[in-house]
Amino acid sequence: MSEEIVQEEAPSLSCVVSAENRGLGSLRSVRWRLNLGILPPSPSVDDLRRVTADSRRRYAGLRRQLLVDPHVAKHGGSNSPDLVMDNPLSQNPDSTWGRFFRNAELEKMVSQDLSRLYPELGSYFQAPGCQGMLRRILLLWCLKHPESGYRQGMHELLAPLLYVLNVDIERLSEVRKIHEDHFIDKFDGLSFEENDVTYSFDFKKVLDSMEDEVGSQGNSKKVRSLDELDPEIQTIILLTDAYGAEGELGIVLSEKFMEHDAYCMFEALMSGAGGSVAMADFFSPIPAGESQSGLPPVIEASVAFYHLLSIVDSSLHSHLVELGVEPQYFALRWLRVLFGREFSLRDLLVVWDEILTADNNPLHKDSGNEESSCFNVLNSHRGALIAAMAVSMILYVRSSLFATENATTCLQRLLNFPENINLKKLVAKAKSLQILALDSKLSSSSSFIFDVAYNRSKSAVSGHNLSPGPVSPTTPLSLVPDSYWEEKWRVLHKAEELRQDSLDKQAPSGKRRWSDKVKLVLSRTESEPSPARAEKYKKGHRSSVRRSLLEDLSRHLGWEEDTETVDCFDTSNLEDRHSIEVQVEGQNETSIDSICTAEERCESGSGTSVSEENSSVFSDPASSGSSTTNDHENDTEKSSVASNLSADEIDDRRLNNPEDSPLPVSSPPEDVLLNYPHENESSGKMVSALKQRRHLSGRFQWLLKLGRNNVSQEASDKGVINETAKSANRDSKSNTADSSTACAPRSSSPTIQRDVVDQNVMGTLKNLGQSMLEHIQVLESVFQQDRVQVGSLDNSAKSNLVGKGQVTAMTALKELRKISNLLSEMLQMAPGLQSMRSWALGPQMAWVDEPVDRVEAGLDSGHPAFSDLKGVGVFAKRLFCLIDLDLVFALHCLSWLFQSTGNENLRWRDIFCFLTGVIHRLFPSQVLSGFEP
């Protein structure tokens, strides 16, 4: 074995020491053997020696018995009478030659797999010695268990075992070598009557600090002395007890018997050693005897793990089911080799540490619950951990799975598990899920209860991450620890985090906070509106109209894009913006904890915002924003277009408020995304407030002039928006009316939607569309920001601006994704919505052509801005068609776009084109006005 492998593994050896094993557990191989039940848990040296020797003798006997050599047999009985039976061409399978040929066949199969074992660690695993050992062990096991036979993957279960043994043995001999000198010098003065405990403790110390030779001189002497005795201990069974303790490691670790020990470990792992998880079952194509499902064990385990997934993350589960991704497609590989293919060997050892440490004994079935036995896998701690590990892994790639559109790509993602993973978190999550798995086994009995409890539990869980403190365990799902969801979303945002150059300088805690924030934003869409918010809503309802709509629009340019803020506190507005700013700028000192309560948030927000805000331009609209938006609200409430609609929504909301009480603070963080555009807009306003009115260019025009990057262009866009709103007063009215009610359906949970859908499907959809538009506009503004940043006055904060813009855009995109999920859920729930499809296929098709043509014209013009837009035009066309065909599908496309495209430039522009299409699709009136300058 190469030296570097030893070194590489060295740190991990000292990671876990099981207390009861007196230091033996400090070596991973020994610990595994204890966990696998090969070594007795009792600390008696005699037991240890006896058991070890027995197991090795058994292997040696097996080897003698099963590994046949026809030539050797010839020596014993030459000219044997049954030469007719025992010849190379004999048809008798029991003949020596028959067995020989069978073994040879098996060996060939095994060798084929072994030759491809861990090519990255080929120096060790491809060495002839190692290959021979692995081959013999596998061969013997297969011969011993003809009912299982050899299956691909078994070698990958064995390899880590042998590797671990080898690492430990190397380590031991290394220690011996280092301390040899000391031993020779002072051997005579050594007494063998040393205390056992002292010894093992010292030895560990020696292992950990080998360089510290001065301090451990005495210990190393002892080590050396016992090492010399090792071979004796191996061979001479009766040895005085005085040497016993020193021999312990020598007993259990010996290079000579590495193969024997590896076989025993492998056999224990495969058979499960009396426990409920026997890896051999996973290779068996026939159902296990006690299985009720009648499925092969590995399929059953896959189903169990899917079941667990459905509890933990039903949306992902339904997504996978929708795509037709059966669990066994990938779980077969995951489970059979115990995730050996998904992790590097180094990580795998850590994972196995956990899996093997978990108790494999079947849990008591005294509950008498027949359902509990429906998943045999979940009947032990180890099995539950394995299932939990699988779920944890699938959640790790959750976001990219959501981005997949068909089973093939989905499986591709699942079978190409990312390499750079945070193993600790993964394992920690798995462990937390393990508890859930063991628990869910019981709750699985009544799936309908689960269905009912689903929404509650969902909100309860989302409430968790908001309040780190103890939460009332109303549902079994509250067992999910806070870190779980955080982790989940962290994974989701990992990719984006990486892209954020400006955020790179942040401390890790800052990143975490940021993800926290986003997580809150996202969870908000799933959760229901908070009472506080609803209250505010009502309050706004009561307030009287002070300004005309026109006034509002002129005062707050671009605010029509952000009409969603009607739902928000002004204080929380400030707070959120403030905190985001702080995060972006890497100032982590703000109190993220204040999120816990809305009151705190208000205080801290208002307190710090003043100090943070450098320009009064920012703070003015922000502070006055709420009143303005309240006015907005009132205006729109009264407008005839959507008053019925909004009233309905409000009713719904009021009805649902009691249910919302567990999560009083989940909603406000949404403001994050609303503030940024606001800020951006206002900065844009600063730059070119005067020019804005003059430009009446179409909305699409700026797409064609992307390359100009001038401020006026940007301003004109806003002006367009403004003008559009002005000139088409009715339109904007209806728009704002929609927007005021938009949040209700979006934030309502599926159960509520069921009611809503019945009454007002189309209205809800429209509202959804409006809220989508808002997010899209947020994105648009970010885009503009991106483009004009060269000409922007705020040069110093340029990078920050980009970063902020990205944050905002990401947030908005995520909101969109949530909406799309919601939409698809609605689609499933309400068959009436299917008519949407046919409606969408109607005569509206025609207008799609023009934007597409324009994009293509831009491409054809060869303008530098389009130089890197290769293929985007075609892409956009495709997307536009999709939009027209199916809104829901298009939104899925959006999420796909958002996730999958690696090229950042391309991605941004794709998204942009797509979003523009969505806008046009949803609001033809705006489109028309935009096209007619």
Stretch that binds other proteins, among 10-18, 74-82, 125-133, 645-653 (CB under 8 A): 74-82
Q: Does 364 bind other proteins (CB under 8 A)?
A: no
Rounded to 5°, angle at Cα 204 from 198 and 208: 145
CA dist 749 and 697 (Å) reads 41
How far apart are CB 81 and other proteins at their closest, in Å?
11
- Least CB distance to other proteins at residue 71 (A): 6
Residues of this chain, 672-731, that bind other proteins according to CB under 8 A? none
Buried b vs exposed e over 231-266: b needs ≥16 C-beta within 10 Å?
A: eebbeeeebeeebbbbbbbbbbbbeebbbbbbbbbb
Smallest gap from residue 310 Cβ to other proteins (A): 48
Stretch that binds other proteins, among 89-97, 290-298, 390-398, 703-711 (CB under 8 A): 89-97
- Closest approach of other proteins to the CB of residue 85, in Å: 9
Of 394, 284, 419, 422, the residue nearest 341 (C-alpha): 419
> Which residue reads 């929380």 in tokens?
572
Token representation of residue 250? 């020598």
- The number of beta carbons lying within 10 Å of the beta carbon of residue 194 is 18
Q: Does 544 bind other proteins (CB under 8 A)?
A: no
Stretch that binds other proteins, among 83-91, 113-121, 384-392, 859-867 (CB under 8 A): 83-91
* Interatomic CA distance for residues 904 and 915, integer angstroms: 16
Question: Three-state secondary structure along 528-594?
Answer: CCCHHHHHHHHHHHHCCCCCCHHHHHHHCCCHHHHHHHHHCCHHHHHHHHHHHHHHHCCCCCCCHHH
Quick one: which segment of 67-75, 256-264, 770-778, 837-845 binds other proteins (CB under 8 A)? 67-75
Choose one: 80-88, 579-587, 742-750, 757-765; the region binding other proteins (CB under 8 A).
80-88
Binding flag, residue 241, other proteins (CB under 8 A): no
Under the binding rule (CB under 8 A), the answer on residue 72 touching other proteins is no
Stretch that binds other proteins, among 85-93, 315-323, 485-493, 742-750 (CB under 8 A): 85-93
Q: Which residue has the tokens 């495709």?
A: 878
Residue 523, token pair as written in the block? 């969870």
DSSP string, 211-274: S-TTTTHHHHHHHHHHHHHHHHHHH-S---GGGHHHHHHHHH--STTHHHHHHHHHHHHHHGGG
Q: Stretches 73-81, 240-248, 253-261, 635-643: which one binds other proteins (CB under 8 A)? A: 73-81
Nearer to other proteins, 77 or 231 (CB): 77
Report, in Å, the least distance between residue 827 CB and other proteins. 58
Residue placing its CB nearer to other proteins in the complex, 77 or 473: 77
- Least separation in angstroms between residue 259's CB and other proteins is 23
What is the CA 386 to chain-centroid distance, rounded?
16
Nearer to other proteins, 78 or 544 (CB): 78
Interface with other proteins: number of residues (CB under 8 A):
14
d(CA 640, CA 76): 105
Nearer to other proteins, 88 or 324 (CB): 88
What SS3 state is found at 652? helix
Which of residues 57, 74, 499, 870 is near other proteins by CB under 8 A? Answer: 74
- Residue with Cβ nearer other proteins (89 or 214): 89
Span of 75-83, 308-316, 401-409, 599-607 interacting with other proteins by CB under 8 A = 75-83
95-124 mask for other proteins (x: CB under 8 A)?
A: ------x---x-------------------
- Indicate the residue among 88 and 473 with the shorter CB distance to other proteins: 88
Does residue 76 interact with other proteins by CB under 8 A? Answer: no
Give the C-alpha distances (Å, rounded to integers) separating 585 from 441, 518, 579, 593: 47, 16, 10, 18
CB of 72 to other proteins, least distance (A): 11
Least distance CB 149 / other proteins (angstroms)? 18
The residue (of 84 and 647) whose beta carbon lies closer to other proteins is 84
Binding segment (CB under 8 A) for other proteins, from list 84-92, 194-202, 578-586, 779-787: 84-92
The footprint of other proteins on residues 122-181 (CB under 8 A) is none
77 binds other proteins (CB under 8 A): no
In contact, 383 and 277? CB cutoff 8 Å: yes
Alpha carbon of 219 to those of 167, 178, 213, 294: distances in Å?
22, 12, 9, 58
In 3-state terms, what secondary structure has residue 137? helix
Both tokens assigned to 663:
């999560």
The distance of Cα 112 from the centroid of its chain, to the nearest Å, equals 34
Residue whose CB is less far from other proteins, 149 or 476: 149
Contact range with other proteins by CB under 8 A, out of 1-9, 77-85, 305-313, 724-732: 77-85
Q: Which is nearer to other proteins, 90 or 344 (CB)?
A: 90
**From residue 440, how far is each of 11, 160, 434, 503, 669 by CA, in Å?**
36, 31, 9, 40, 32
φ, ψ (nearest 5 deg) of residue 380: -140, 165
Give me the residues paired with residue 380 across strands.
362
The Cα 369–Cα 365 span in angstroms is 7
Query: In the complex with other proteins, which residue's Cβ is closer, 88 or 129?
Result: 88
The CA R_g of the chain, rounded to the nearest whole Å, is 34
Indicate which single residue of 2, 4, 77, 84 sits in contact with other proteins (rule: CB under 8 A): 84
- Binding-site member from 12, 18, 87, 173 for other proteins (CB under 8 A): 87
| Residues of span 805-834 touching other proteins by CB under 8 A | none
Nearer to other proteins, 132 or 324 (CB): 132
**Cβ-count burial of 275 within 10 angstroms (0-12 exposed, 13-18 middle, 19+ buried)?**
buried
Residue 84 CB, shortest distance to other proteins, in Å, is 5
Residue owning tokens 């795509």? 323
81 binds other proteins (CB under 8 A): no
Residues found near other proteins in the complex (CB under 8 A):
70-71, 74, 78-79, 83-84, 87-91, 101, 105
